[in-house]
A and B are shown apart, each in its own frame.
Chain A
């Protein structure tokens, strides 16, 4: 097990190396000059050249890369071109709303989707099953921003129950934090509910045909116990896998959701950084997402062993 975790942690290094090279080159190869963005519309070409020199953008690409990697290895993520702050402090400032959004969305999705999927599997072929699966298709097909604006219209503008946009820090006012979290997490959760419910249904349906389910019923257990204790736990591995993949996709969803609801999180930071060609910020954020992704998948793999004693690493 320790061997396994160590190997997986070591594997982060090549992943990061590939991501780093890729991100770095992508940014340099796309059109758009950060110096020009910083200098503003009225700047002369001398001013722009000055800024370029100051940012080190006049150096050959390989030198820029070497400097950046060297800084990174020393724990220095560099300074944002645009925000005039260190990237580390920027991320620290923006991480809370994104983390909160991701966690709320995941909890909401799992709490709603897993029971729905189990019920659909248990009532396989009935109207209940078809309704759940129908909603699942709908959830897949409607984009996050459409759901977001619809929810804002109904619950924030028409009914006035919840705030339209914005964010309250969790430490400042927990009630306000929850109020601001409800609509964004619901909008973002819809697609995960659809995805997880579908996989749960398929996975449980398969398990329900297993011999040990028949054994459980032959023991005189109630349907609820058979479903929850015997079926669901055996169906857990594919469900966990999808949740893991979901976390990766969540990052993309967060960008859109944060923009719709005006949350000052990493998603919006990424958008702003891209628009202003803020290379250091983009690079750092993407690298951070890669690390998170690898770590989450490691956690999921470890979680498998909790659900299935046959899995050993």
Chain B
């Protein structure tokens, strides 16, 4: 469970505890309803939601996209988009109803009593201001401290969020820092005035797993030290298991159930909660049986990609995105490439599909080395390798019907329109979509459906190798499960070779026969999934697994 850091309650906490009415919640949300603009898919974004957050407590709001969890957090901060209107209920921050507060009063409360940190540390900081200035702004707005006092306070908070060399960070611009460091800046900014409530809206979702573990630990430490109440919004049950004291499950704007973490995770009362938790892929690899020696589809030999920028007057920069990568994928097999951002996993995938040209090494598709063959001779091989990308919202052309998107490839390779449409209809059935929906546009489908369309589009080329580049990472966990099952079923049925790129260890554990772990452009560990997950050898792999949130929790094994 939450790796609670047992720091003795500081004097500040004690002071606050006596100041605030003892045991009274910092946040009480009572019967909150927020109306959607007319014409939406439902009347309310949030209906009749009630919950409390106590001092020193971390409450997780869990739900899939569209469940209303972010709407609740923005309503509390008074940052709701103009189209959304709270229509009933109260939000009491230490007894004060923020729904009734004036805009001026809300501004006073923000960052002093309640603070918020956001999902995307990459975009949540102003790129043209130094980090120090951005924190300084909070102090200038809300306090009467002079410049020296402010500077001292900022250096203090930067130290508290464990940023190295606070003076340098103070003067740095956001783009000069890593994602984890930027999230620390956000946390420093949110906590510099010791608010009683911290709202964390998916604060670790965009981070790598090892960074995520550090940030979660930091939030838990800081909130425990200060007795801050935390409302933590997430879709990830691993994170819930790691950090939450209590959990509230949301669906379609309604509170499904709420209770202590252990109870919700192991004895959920509601069917929806059970379904959601059972959808979380297990981190222990499924036993996938013995592999027979089959026909090789893809083999890379010392594959490397080097980016270099040359300039007459400046030092040339060389980035080795991939170095000496040897991989093999056989028919009917799934090879997973696992790694954090910048590990080179996508670079390798793109080299194999020849979307980018490799700098060195060989790529054998069957017997042909396609690493360096010219575009004209590459063309017949293009058909054999197809990719499904991460973001189904952006990888389909919004101005083309899904039918046109699916048949475009086959028709480029000489198939007639009628036959291509015939194939498209069949593929829609394969991916369990209505074949009559071929004349619709992508925006008329949900994220999961779009990803199915992307899979159908890739399959329409009758590829030998399917590359799934983070193909389920943007999907909700229940949809993710369905798409993963679909992919696995298609692999079996078509005896397809699949190269599955992911940062998600749980997903990799469930779908891969073999796993290659990449770090800094190199494959550091490579073997059967059961072996890599069961007994990791390389230091990096061990660190990666140790950082996976909720790794000690077997989701979906409910107590009777």
Partner of B79, one of A217, A230, A233: A217
Chain A residues proximal to chain B, CB less than 8 Å: 3, 210-212, 214-222, 225, 229-230, 233-234, 307-310
B142 (CB) vs chain A CBs: closest residue: A220
Closest 3 pairs between A and B when the two form their complex, measured CB to CB: A220-B110, A211-B123, A3-B313
* Residue from A211, A214, A220, A221 with most neighbouring chain B CB atoms (10 Å): A220
5 additional A-B residue pairs with CB within 8 Å, beyond A220-B110, A222-B141: A212-B127, A214-B79, A218-B116, A219-B141, A234-B128
List residues of chain A with CB within 8 A of the CB of B433: none
Show 27 A/B contacts (Cβ-Cβ < 8 Å), sorted by A: A3-B313, A210-B123, A211-B118, A211-B124, A212-B126, A212-B127, A215-B118, A215-B125, A217-B110, A218-B116, A220-B106, A220-B108, A220-B111, A220-B138, A221-B107, A222-B107, A225-B137, A225-B141, A234-B126, A307-B128, A308-B127, A308-B128, A309-B128, A309-B173, A309-B175, A310-B128, A310-B175
Residues of A within 8 A of B313 (CB): 3
- B126 contacts which of A220, A230, A307 (Cβ < 8 Å)? A230
Please give, as numbers and ranges, the residues of chain B lying within 8 Å of A217 by CB-CB distance. 79, 110
Contact status B312-A218, CB under 8 Å: no
With beta carbons under 8 angstroms apart, the residue of A3, A218, A230 that contacts B311 is A3
Q: How far is the CA of A212 from the CA of B124 in the complex (A)?
A: 4
- Alpha-carbon separation in the docked complex, A53 to B9 (Å): 101
- Minimum Cβ distance to chain B for residue A11 (Å): 14
Which of B49-94 touch A at CB < 8 Å?
77, 79
Contact at A216–B126, with CB atoms within 8 Å?
Answer: yes
Given the known interface contacts A220-B111, A222-B107, A308-B127, the answer about A214 and B141 at a Cβ–Cβ threshold of 8 Å is no
The residues of B that contact A221 with a CB separation of less than 8 Å are 107, 137, 141
Instruction: Please report the C-alpha to C-alpha distance between residue A220 and residue B98 in the assembled complex, in whole angstroms.
Output: 14
The answer to whether A219 touches B110 (Cβ under 8 A) is yes
Cα A230 to Cα B312 with chains together (Å): 36
**Whose C-beta in chain B lies nearest to the C-beta of A310?**
B175
CA A211 – CA B127 in complex, angstroms? Answer: 11
How far apart are B126's CB and chain A's nearest CB, in angstroms? 4
B293-322 vs A, CB cutoff 8 Å, 1 = contact: the mask equals 000000000000000000111100000000
Residues of A close to B77: CB separation below 8 A: 218
Specify which of B106, B128, B129 lies most central, judged by the most chain A CB atoms within 10 Å of its CB. B128
Report B-chain residues with C-beta under 8 Å of the C-beta of A214. 79, 118, 124
Cα–Cα distance between A211 and B109 once the two chains are bound (Å) = 20
How distant is the Cα of A136 from the Cα of B107 in the complex, in angstroms? 34
Q: Assess whether B126 is in contact with A218, with CB atoms less than 8 Å apart.
A: no
Q: How far is the CA of A126 from the CA of B549 in the complex (A)?
A: 47
- Chain B: CB-nearest residue to A3: B313
Interface residues of B (CB under 8 A from A): 77, 79, 106-112, 115-116, 118, 120, 123-129, 137-138, 141-142, 173, 175, 186, 189, 311-314
> A237 — nearest CB in chain B belongs to which residue?
B128
User: Which A residues are in CB contact (< 8 Å) with B189?
Assistant: 215, 219
Alpha-carbon gap, A221 to B104, bound state (A): 10
Verify A220–B312 contact, CB threshold 8 A: no
Whole-angstrom distance between the Cβ of A312 and the nearest chain B Cβ: 10
Shortest beta-carbon distance from B252 to chain A in Å: 24
Specify which chain B residues have a CB less than 8 angstroms from the CB of A220 in the assembled complex. Answer: 106-112, 138, 141-142
Which chain A residue shows the least CB distance to B78? A217
Residues of B within 8 A of A210 (CB): 123
Say how far B120's CB is from chain A's closest CB, in angstroms. Answer: 6
Interface centre among B109, B120, B129, B186 (most CB of A within 10 A): B129
A70 to chain B, nearest CB (A): 31
| Contact pick for B314, options A3, A230, A234, A310, CB 8 Å | A3
- Which of chain B's residues have a CB closer than 8 A to the CB of A230? 126, 129
Measured CB to CB, the closest approach of chain B to A148, in angstroms, equals 39
In the complex, the chain A residue whose C-beta lies closest to that of B173 is A309
Q: Which residues of B contact A229 (CB under 8 A)?
A: 129, 137
Q: Is the CB of B137 within 8 A of A234?
A: no
Q: Chain A residues with Cβ under 8 A from B312's Cβ?
A: 3
Question: Is B111 a contact of A233 with CB atoms below 8 Å?
Answer: no
Closest approach, in angstroms, between the C-beta of A299 and any C-beta of chain B? 19
A234 to chain B: closest residue by CB = B128
Distance between Cα atoms of A225 and B141 in the complex (Å): 10
Find chain A residues with CB under 8 A from B129 CB: 229-230, 233
Give min CB distance, A212 to chain B, whole Å.
4
A220–B118 alpha-carbon span in the complex (Å): 15
CA distance A222 to B108 in the complex (A): 10
Q: Are A218 and B111 in contact, CB atoms less than 8 angstroms apart?
A: yes
- Give the CA-CA distance A221 to B118 in the complex, in Å: 17
Complex CA distance for A234 and B123, rounded to whole angstroms: 12
Docked CA distance A217–B175 (Å): 21
Task: Tell me the complex Cα distance, A221–B189, Å.
Answer: 13
The minimal Cβ–Cβ distance linking A236 to chain B, given in whole angstroms, is: 8
Chain B residue at minimum C-beta to C-beta distance from A233: B128
Closest to B314 in A: A3
Distance of A155 Cα from B519 Cα, bound (Å): 73
How close is B407's CB to chain A, nearest CB, in angstroms?
35
With contact pairs A211-B118, A211-B120, A218-B111 given, residues A234 and B127 touching in the complex (Cβ less than 8 Å) = yes
Q: In the assembled complex, how far is the CB of residue A228 from the closest CB belonging to chain B, in whole angstroms? A: 12
Residues from chain A with Cβ under 8 Å of B141 in the complex:
219-222, 225
- Within the complex, the shortest CB–CB distance from A216 to chain B, in Å, comes to 7
Q: Is the CB of A215 within 8 A of B126?
A: yes
- Cα distance A212–B189 when bound, in Å? 13
